[in-house]
Amino acid sequence: MGSDIRRAIVVGAGIAGLTTALRLRGIGWDVLLLERAPARRRGGYALTLTGGGHAAAEALGILPGLRERHFDVDLLFVNADGGRRFTLPADRAEALRGGRALNLLRGDIEDVLFTAVPDDVEVRFGATVTSIAQDEDGVRAVLDDGTTERADLLVGADGLHSAVRDLAFDVGPSVLRDLGYTVAAFSLRKLPAGLAERAVTTFSPPGRSIAVASLGRDRAAAYFIHKSSDPAGDRALGPEQTLANRYGDLGWVVPDLLGQLADTDSVYFDGVAQIAADRWHRGRVVLVGDAAWCLTPFSGYGASLSMAGADLLGTALEAEPADIPAALTAWEARLRPEADRFQTRARRAAAMHAPSTRSELLRRDFLLRAASLRPVTHVLAHLSRH
């Protein structure tokens, strides 16, 4: 590119894209961040940031901002009438996750990252790429407004259905490994009456699960997951119709949640699928986060690995500034075993999230009840750190 200052185009302003922008700017790169949505996404769903994600947040200096928004939550499991089956208290749940865990809304993480990204990072909303070409000197991206941008590196952080992956990797839909579930998650205006504050309350009728997370300060989110033989058909039908069809027979707080879906400002609705791409970089184009390795909600680690992976990308580029493809090769070699491990774990955990049969439900309950016993928590916490 003729100058010593490196330039990156980052596509997607989710957790992976924002972390990449922050990290690359921190090592002196110029960054252009493109986000398809017309404005910042808010709220979203509840998630836990842990492990490498927690460590990356610390390294990036955003841990204090995230801690301010964290709330300890008890995990409550209930029957169809809301009666308590059992509870996993907050301290045990946290110990199981290795003790360094933050319960947040996805929007909290994006908010804190966005605030930390310096003002000299150009962010364009309502913008995306329509073609990508590269040679030995750089990458050329044509944007949807017809303009062209050049850079040393293009980062596809545009999620599960990545356009960058389609444009630059020639892999097609076969990289999507469908796990046979559909998930909907959205923020709530109001916690339904009778539900505990600062808790995640879960009800699991066969093949389905409904959870409501209350994270304090009037922040609450709902999560629906069901086994589906046709996640693409569910997507085509849309969240309101699909959830009405699949959950309309249920009582408890479900009618209230379905009512709130109609006017929420942020719904995540998709099939549960992993990305099984045999490479995450090609020349000067690299995929990060769900675009590269999507772990799914079943792993409980997608946001964490998005943040850790983006942070590590900065480390790899800093270590090998003169040879970007070599830096990307080293980065991928370092990260792939962890992504593979969490993808495997997620596939194994699927039945825990939406038990289909009574025996699966009893097994899940048994494992969680056992995990809540203090000596067992201690051993599992130790194992989860290794």
Query: In the structure encoding, which two tokens stand for residue 303, read together?
Result: 């946001």
> Is residue 48 part of the contact set for ligand FAD (CB under 6 A)?
yes
Which secondary-structure segment (H or E) carries 57?
A: helix 51-59
Pairing between β-strand 153-156 and β-strand 7-11 as defined by DSSP bridges: parallel
> Is residue 123 part of the contact set for ligand FAD (CB under 6 A)?
no
DSSP 165-177: HHHHH--GGGGEE
Kindly tell me which of 266 and 315 has the beta carbon lying closer to ligand FAD: 266
Q: Where are the beta strands (DSSP E) in the chain?
A: 7-11, 30-35, 46-49, 74-78, 84-88, 102-105, 122-125, 129-134, 139-143, 148-151, 153-156, 176-188, 199-203, 208-214, 220-227, 267-275, 281-282, 285-287
> Is residue 350 part of the contact set for ligand FAD (CB under 6 A)?
no
> Is residue 183 part of the contact set for ligand FAD (CB under 6 A)?
yes
Torsion of CA 1, 167, 107, 30, to 10 degrees: 0
Select from 31-39, 68-76, 279-287, 325-333 the region that touches ligand FAD (CB under 6 A). 31-39
> Is residue 94 part of the contact set for ligand FAD (CB under 6 A)?
no
- Taking the C-alpha atoms of residue 80 and residue 68, their distance in angstroms, rounded to an integer, is 34
> Residue from 66, 93, 185, 215 that binds ligand FAD (CB under 6 A)?
185
> Is residue 163 part of the contact set for ligand FAD (CB under 6 A)?
yes
Classified as helix, coil or strand, 266 is: coil
Kindly tell me which of 247 and 268 has the beta carbon lying closer to ligand FAD: 268
> Is residue 43 part of the contact set for ligand FAD (CB under 6 A)?
no
> Is residue 271 part of the contact set for ligand FAD (CB under 6 A)?
no
Q: Computed from CA positions of residues 105, 123, 331, 175, in that sequence, does the dihedral angle turn out positive or negative?
A: positive
> Residue from 23, 25, 97, 106 that binds ligand FAD (CB under 6 A)?
106
> Is residue 12 part of the contact set for ligand FAD (CB under 6 A)?
yes
- Taking the C-alpha atoms of residue 318 and residue 6, their distance in angstroms, rounded to an integer, is 11
- Taking the C-alpha atoms of residue 64 and residue 42, their distance in angstroms, rounded to an integer, is 20
Provide long-range contacts, Cβ within 8 A and 24+ apart, for 252-255.
252/78, 252/80, 252/81, 252/82, 252/203, 252/210, 253/82, 253/192, 253/193, 253/194, 253/195, 253/212, 254/210
> Is residue 167 part of the contact set for ligand FAD (CB under 6 A)?
no
Kindly tell me which of 306 and 343 has the beta carbon lying closer to ligand FAD: 306
> Residue from 5, 37, 370, 373 that binds ligand FAD (CB under 6 A)?
37
CA 375 from chain centre, in angstroms, equals: 31
Select from 15-23, 92-100, 346-354, 378-386 the region that touches ligand FAD (CB under 6 A). 15-23
Residue 129 sits at φ, ψ, to 5 deg, of -100, 145
Q: Report the nearest approach of ligand FAD to the CB of residue 2 (Å).
A: 27
Select from 11-19, 91-99, 348-356, 358-366 the region that touches ligand FAD (CB under 6 A). 11-19
> Is residue 11 part of the contact set for ligand FAD (CB under 6 A)?
yes
Per the listing, tokens 């997507």 go with 235
Kindly tell me which of 81 and 170 has the beta carbon lying closer to ligand FAD: 170
Kindly tell me which of 26 and 53 has the beta carbon lying closer to ligand FAD: 53
Contact 233, 225 (CB under 8 A): no
> Is residue 34 part of the contact set for ligand FAD (CB under 6 A)?
yes
Select from 28-36, 68-76, 249-257, 328-336 the region that touches ligand FAD (CB under 6 A). 28-36
Select from 72-80, 231-239, 297-305, 367-375 the region that touches ligand FAD (CB under 6 A). 297-305
Binding site for ligand FAD (CB under 6 A): 11-17, 34-37, 41, 45, 47-49, 53, 106, 128, 157-159, 163, 183, 185, 223, 268, 289-291, 297, 300-304, 306
